[in-house]
């Protein structure tokens, strides 16, 4: 099993350190800034071997080159982002696999938020590092891809085992929950999830990881077949892509 450290940085980002204890290999996912990563590596006595980038936005790659210079680690990122992420060592595509020590990491292409977005899935550790594709109770904005692409990307994630832990790149859960309740106020699982989430800041705890089972039960963007959501959007035909498209448009202008 991977040892996973969650490092809160900037206003609401999370960086993840992944350590495979048998081999001692270590990777960092989406390092926005270097200092917390270096401090955590030093505290744990770990050597950084890889940087895993989900996409090219600066708050996910900002520390790449500094960390590479300091540790001689290798950068792994999507082949589609070669022109946007500097100094990539290993390019990957959908369904590619690589090893972090004894653990196999699978690459899943998830275009939508950006055209080259990928996520990293470790089946043995039941962990998904999903960048800005999936958030707890939400999903990423469509900066480059289409609504249909993002819906299809989320369907790929939805097919993973439901006990998969969801490690998102931002702490957006409470705000996302306000919109989720707006479009599906009668969802009892959602009501319970938000009640739990509201208590976590008081005890200095993150809302992440969630699980895929939780997200399927509560996240409107994974619930495009919900009759309640369809009624809220006044959509009568069986068209999940249209439901997703309308949800995403509504979320973009939603004010709690």
Based on the number of CB atoms within 10 Å of its own CB, is 154 exposed (0-12), middle (13-18) or buried (19 or more)?
A: buried
C-alpha span between 53 and 101 (Å, rounded)? 18
Collect all residues with Cβ–Cβ distance below 8 Å to 151 and sequence separation of at least 6: 112, 224, 240, 241, 244, 245
Provide the annotated active-site residues.
55, 57, 59-60, 113, 132, 170
Please provide residue 41's backbone torsions phi and psi, each rounded to the nearest 5 degrees.
Answer: -60, -45
End-to-end CA distance of the chain: 40
Q: Do 124 and 1 form a contact (C-beta atoms < 8 A)?
A: yes
Nearest CA among 15, 90, 17, 112 for reference residue 60: 15
Nearest CA among 181, 168, 158 for reference residue 251: 181
DSSP for 132-143 reads TTEETTEE---S
Instruction: Kindly report whether the peptide bond that precedes residue 62 is cis, defined as omega within 30 degrees of 0.
Output: no
Q: Do 112 and 140 form a contact (C-beta atoms < 8 A)?
A: yes
């Amino acid at each position: 099993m991977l040892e996973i450290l969650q490092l809160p940085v900037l206003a609401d980002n999370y960086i993840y350190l992944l350590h495979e204890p048998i081999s001692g290999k270590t990777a960092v996912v989406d390092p926005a800034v270097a200092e917390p990563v270096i401090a955590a590596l030093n505290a744990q006595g770990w050597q950084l071997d890889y940087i895993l980038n989900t996409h090219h936005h600066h708050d996910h790659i900002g520390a790449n080159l500094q960390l590479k210079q300091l540790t001689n680690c290798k950068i792994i990122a999507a082949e589609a982002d070669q022109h946007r992420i500097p100094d990539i060592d290993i390019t990957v595509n959908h369904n590619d696999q690589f090893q972090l020590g004894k653990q196999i990491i699978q690459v899943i292409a998830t275009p939508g938020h950006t055209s080259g977005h990928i996520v990293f899935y470790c089946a043995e550790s039941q962990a998904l590092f999903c960048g800005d594709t999936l958030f707890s109770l939400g999903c990423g904005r469509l900066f480059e891809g289409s609504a249909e692409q993002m819906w299809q990307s989320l369907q790929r994630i939805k097919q993973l085992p439901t006990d998969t832990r969801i490690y998102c790149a931002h702490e957006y859960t409470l705000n996302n929950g306000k919109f989720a309740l707006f479009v599906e106020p009668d969802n009892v699982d959602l009501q319970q999830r938000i009640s739990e989430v509201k208590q976590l800041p008081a005890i200095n705890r993150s809302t992440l990881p969630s699980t895929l089972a939780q997200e399927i039960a509560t996240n409107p963007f994974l619930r495009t077949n919900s009759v309640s959501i369809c009624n809220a959007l006044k959509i009568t035909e069986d068209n999940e892509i249209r439901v997703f498209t309308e949800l995403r448009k509504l979320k973009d202008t939603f004010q709690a």
